[in-house]
Amino acid sequence: MKNCKLCGNTLTKPVFVLPNTPNAQGFVAQRIRSAGNLEIFECPCCHLVQLACKPVNYYKEVIRSTNVSKEMRTLRLKQFKQFFKKYKCKKTIEIGCGTGDYLEILTKVNNDSFGLEAGKKSINVCKDKDLKVFEGYLDKENSKIQKAPYDSFIMMNFLEHFPHPLTALKAIYNNLSVNAYGIIEVPNFEETIKESNFLDFVPDHLLYFTKDTLALMLGLAGFEVIKIDSVFHEYILQAEVKKRSNHSYTAFNAEVLKNKKQIKDLLKKIPNRELAIWGAGHQSLTLMSVAGLDDKKIKYVIDSAPFKQNKLTPATFIPIVSPLYFKQNLPKAVLVIAGGYNSEIVQQIKKYNLKIKVFSFDKGILKNEK
């Protein structure tokens, strides 16, 4: 069974078949069979366009023509200068640096630049150029890159060669420092499909990205996508990303204590079983539980939903009654805990013209309504 390299969904029928397609680096010395039919799939779920065949045997190596064109060189120099100025990154690594064409430019812009490459010959070429290169390939999420963590990375036209692209991206993520930035470039499939340019399909490229599928993959790998542009005569999609960090949860504990204290202070002012709570929604149920309330402290809980009435609140076991019961068996005070419905309920209680105190509680704030 063939599975999508992004979402894992089953790939069934190819959307296009290109016969007798040669590898980009499959040059031969004699007339031996060196090509096969190329089946292109589009995932019915995430819509990533991809090949499901085995990768070419040199898929771990980056092979670029040794002399980058003048136009490309100028573009890279400008791009790298802007990147380092914008994000103020220090130590950087190029994932898949090949013979160091871009790493040379990168090192000129930022001296603390390194490269990662699997091809031994390419590594030697880099070393001859005095570039700092490590041998390696990212085939496990926990693959370690020497000298990690890095403040930034670039990966130019390499992601589309990976049989396990998410694994590679997660491995990069794990070798970065907090708030690291990166540039990832891939061939632009949006242009291929617009021009029906079937010549872009090649066994070397296992993945064909649109802006949407690239953003989806980068997001799933843990990156925040800052922007994706189409560059170099629309041939390349260029993504700028930031390593996403977890939200901070330290404030939650302080908020638990603050909420408990406010309910405790309110109960000091109102005798036991003379406070009722309006609302048996999730916020109210949790607050009652966190504050350690029970049917000895709270008279009852009012809720308009008939299916909750005549039952007990979960965890705190306080009887739930109807608004009608409330009007006939008044407490000395009522506390409304109903999230976004608070003001509507407070208005409704005020219309009853009752001689009781009304409080509300929302987003950690206890309010005296009357």
Alpha-carbon span 277 to 285, nearest angstrom: 10
Among 11, 38, 42, 43, binds Zn ion (CB under 5 A): 43
**CB atoms < 10 A from the CB of 13, how many?**
9
What's the helix, strand, coil split of the chain in %, to 5?
30, 25, 40
Task: Please work out the total of residues on this chain that contact Zn ion, with binding judged by CB under 5 A.
Answer: 7
Compute the radius of gyration of the chain from its Cα atoms: 31
- Comparing CB distances to Zn ion, the nearer of 17 and 45 is 45
The reply to whether 52 sits near Zn ion by the rule CB under 5 A is no
- Comparing CB distances to Zn ion, the nearer of 4 and 280 is 4
- Comparing CB distances to Zn ion, the nearer of 133 and 217 is 217
Binding segment toward Zn ion, per CB under 5 A, in 45-53, 120-128, 175-183, 344-352: 45-53
- Comparing CB distances to Zn ion, the nearer of 206 and 337 is 206
Binding segment toward Zn ion, per CB under 5 A, in 43-51, 115-123, 131-139, 298-306: 43-51
CB of 274 to Zn ion, least distance (A): 59
Among 4, 105, 155, 263, binds Zn ion (CB under 5 A): 4
CB of 141 to Zn ion, least distance (A): 19
Output phi, psi for 233, to 5 deg. 55, 35
- Comparing CB distances to Zn ion, the nearer of 4 and 318 is 4
The reply to whether 15 sits near Zn ion by the rule CB under 5 A is no
Q: DSSP letter at 181?
A: E
The reply to whether 9 sits near Zn ion by the rule CB under 5 A is yes
User: 90-120 as b/e, with b when 16 or more CB fall inside 10 Å?
Assistant: ebbbbbbbbbbbbbbbbbebbebbbbbbbbe
Cβ distance 142 to 174 under 8 Å?
Answer: yes
Binding segment toward Zn ion, per CB under 5 A, in 13-21, 27-35, 44-52, 297-305: 44-52
- Contact residues for 297 (Cβ-Cβ < 8 A; gap 6+): 267, 272, 273, 275
CB of 309 to Zn ion, least distance (A): 47
- Comparing CB distances to Zn ion, the nearer of 6 and 346 is 6
- Comparing CB distances to Zn ion, the nearer of 14 and 149 is 14
- Comparing CB distances to Zn ion, the nearer of 3 and 34 is 3
The reply to whether 40 sits near Zn ion by the rule CB under 5 A is no
CB of 212 to Zn ion, least distance (A): 12
**Can you tell me whether residue 307 is helix, strand or coil?**
coil
The reply to whether 45 sits near Zn ion by the rule CB under 5 A is yes
Give me the DSSP letters along 31-80.
----EEEEEEEE-TTT--EEE-SPPPTTTTS----SS--HHHHHHHHHHH
Q: DSSP letter at 209?
A: B
Among 18, 40, 46, 354, binds Zn ion (CB under 5 A): 46
Binding segment toward Zn ion, per CB under 5 A, in 9-17, 76-84, 256-264, 348-356: 9-17
CB of 55 to Zn ion, least distance (A): 18
Binding segment toward Zn ion, per CB under 5 A, in 41-49, 64-72, 172-180, 272-280: 41-49
CB of 59 to Zn ion, least distance (A): 20
The reply to whether 44 sits near Zn ion by the rule CB under 5 A is no
Whole-angstrom CA distances from 296 to 173, 201, 245, 246, 259 are: 53, 73, 44, 41, 20
Closest residue by Cα to residue 294 from 267, 323, 269 = 267
- Contact residues for 123 (Cβ-Cβ < 8 A; gap 6+): 117, 133, 135
- Contact residues for 351 (Cβ-Cβ < 8 A; gap 6+): none
Cβ distance 287 to 312 under 8 Å?
Answer: no
The reply to whether 6 sits near Zn ion by the rule CB under 5 A is yes
Binding site for Zn ion (CB under 5 A): 4, 6-7, 9, 43, 45-46
